Amino acid sequence: MTKSLDESLSFFKDKVTDCIRSKKSIFVTTHIDCDGLTSGSIITKALIRAGANCTVRTSKEFSKNVVDSFKTDSRDFHIVTDLGGGFGKDLNETLGDNWIVLDHHQIPDEEIENPNVINAWKYGIDGGLEICAGGMAYLASMALDEKNSDLSSIAVVSALGDRQDQGERKSFTGKNFEIANTAKEQGLVEIDLDLLLVGRETRPLPDALAFTSQPFIEGLTWNRDACLSLLNSSGIQLKDEGRWRVPAELDEEEKRQVIESITKFTAGKNATEIMSELIGYTYTFPREDKRSFLRDGREFSTMLNSCGRINRSGVGMAICMGDRNKILREGETILTDYRKMIREYMNILSNERWRISESETCVMVNGEDIVPETMTGTISSLIAGSPKNSGKIVILRTKGEENTIKFSSRKSFGCKSDINLSDLMRAGAEKFDGIGGGHDAAAGAKITKDKLDEFLNYLEVNVVNVSSADSPQ
């Protein structure tokens, strides 16, 4: 019988307690994105606090090779976070009972009964919206010791990184809501309704407005000059002692002036929709310095994503674990480089039109030789965020290591398709000996290059030419 969430968490606690008591070493393997780095750090920190002998590493993906690497590994017990869905049987064969997966990705039915898989969906929790791996790791850390409740703030970052703030005005729902409230009650996070400009704590006001693409404001988004002139005409002070002010420094009256100017600028066109997207909940960590990229939860999550995506996971992990010295400067540089790279890739993709093919329901983008494998998810999310793609499914592909092709798919805002991208990618990849999975609205796959044409045909039949489909054929 399937265990309840509480039973699974106490199963986890027993396993860890046994490792500590019998001096077994624990190896944590986690994903490289924000949710991976946060979940890995939460569980590692909780294990260290509990006195466990543990090490942690990141992995771009989970595959048979990763499971095989466990065979020769000297560590006694393995905890996998934000990865591992669909590999329960292989893990059992390789490690017996000496492993736990803490995750939120959709899993195949045969894993539901497996007690070592501690996955949100098993307990009726929506792993795409109500909790992510960071939240699952947080619940596990609380099962070890309630003193770990301070790790709730890192779990808030994980949910923002996975874009689970999909409730009204960018609020959280379900477990995420509970976790954010725990962090709030402890004075670790402030939750306010505010202007949702990107780079709240670090970007000069005109840049912040120009780089905000959700909502996309025709004439302002990606147009810094227009933003500067709008802000100048709004009458607010843009600099303070020669230094640009940032969005977090605006007072209520100044925010009102900015909103008024934007409304005027849009001349009533979509003004209500724009405003409803531009105002939402912000998550501020008051213990971080003002103007630090760690003070705003969404900027924090972008920084973590950037660390993983440019192969600097260790820096992100150190920051999540509390390191605040030299490492901060490194995090800042990584974030700047990452933003520059994104701009570069987006420019090339929009200039080389032959890379993009569109149908009524889908946009297929060939990012081969441009987008590095680790950035496919970031770039496909951005393409899906562009208003001209709204309502559609976006599928980006690029070259992976060792003659592979990596696919990243997203449902854009307003996409009503019945296709579950996780099922689509998993079933397609399995058909052509690859691996795939994810969530309803965001999923990926990897296949070998020789199967590319067949996989593209599969997508053609199941997405491109489908207006509203059932399960993949």
**Binding map of ligand C5P across residues 77-96, x = CB under 6 A, - = no contact:** -----x--------------
Left, alpha or beta for 63 (phi > 0: left; psi -120 to 50: alpha)? beta
Total residues binding ligand C5P (CB under 6 A):
25
Q: Is 217 in the site for ligand C5P (CB under 6 A)?
A: no
Structure-block tokens of residue 47: 């294990």
Q: Answer yes or no whether residue 435 interacts with ligand C5P by CB under 6 A.
A: yes
Q: Is 427 in the site for ligand C5P (CB under 6 A)?
A: no
Regarding 397 and contact with ligand C5P (CB under 6 A), the answer is no
Helix (H, G, I), strand (E, B) or coil at 169: helix
Is the CB of 52 or the CB of 379 nearer to ligand C5P? 379
**Piece of 31-39, 45-53, 308-316, 462-470 that binds ligand C5P (CB under 6 A):** 31-39
Contact status: 33 vs ligand C5P (CB under 6 A): yes
**Among 67, 65, 75, 89, CA closest to 26:** 75
Angle between helices 174-185 and 152-161 (to 10 degrees): 140
Q: Helix %, strand %, coil % for the chain, to 5?
A: 50, 15, 35
Q: Which two tokens stand for residue 254?
A: 């100044």
Q: Does 152 bind ligand C5P (CB under 6 A)?
A: no
Residue 381, interface with ligand C5P (CB under 6 A)? yes
Which of 15, 19, 27, 35 lies at the binding interface for ligand C5P (CB under 6 A)? 35
Nearer to ligand C5P, 106 or 114 (CB): 106
Closest approach of Cβ 166 to ligand C5P, in Å? 7
Q: x-or-dash pattern for ligand C5P, window 161-180, by CB under 6 A?
A: -xx-----------------
Are the C-beta atoms of residues 391 and 415 closer than 8 Å to each other?
Answer: yes
Distances (CA, A) of 215 to 88, 174, 243, 277, 368: 40, 25, 27, 6, 29
Residue in 61, 76, 126, 430 binding ligand C5P, rule: CB under 6 A: 61
β 435-438/442-448 pair status: antiparallel
Q: Helix, strand, or coil here: 450?
A: helix
- Nearest approach, Cβ of 279 to ligand C5P (angstroms)? 20
Check residue 444 for interaction with ligand C5P (CB under 6 A).
yes
CB-nearer residue toward ligand C5P: 39 or 282: 39
Of the two residues 116 and 380, which places its CB atom closer to ligand C5P in the complex? 380
In angstroms, give the least distance from the CB of 9 to ligand C5P: 21
Note whether 367 binds ligand C5P by CB under 6 A. no
Strands 25-31, 77-81: pairing is parallel
Distance CA 316, CA 75 (A): 24
- 175 φ/ψ angles, rounded to the nearest 5 degrees: -60, -35
DSSP per-residue string spanning 172-226: --HHHHHHHHHHHHTTS-EEEEEE--SSTTTS-HHHHHHH--SS--TTTTT-HHH
**199 near ligand C5P (CB under 6 A):** no
Regarding 318 and contact with ligand C5P (CB under 6 A), the answer is no
Where do contacts with ligand C5P occur on this chain (CB under 6 A)? 31, 33, 35, 61, 82, 105, 162-163, 376-377, 380-381, 408, 410, 435-439, 441-446
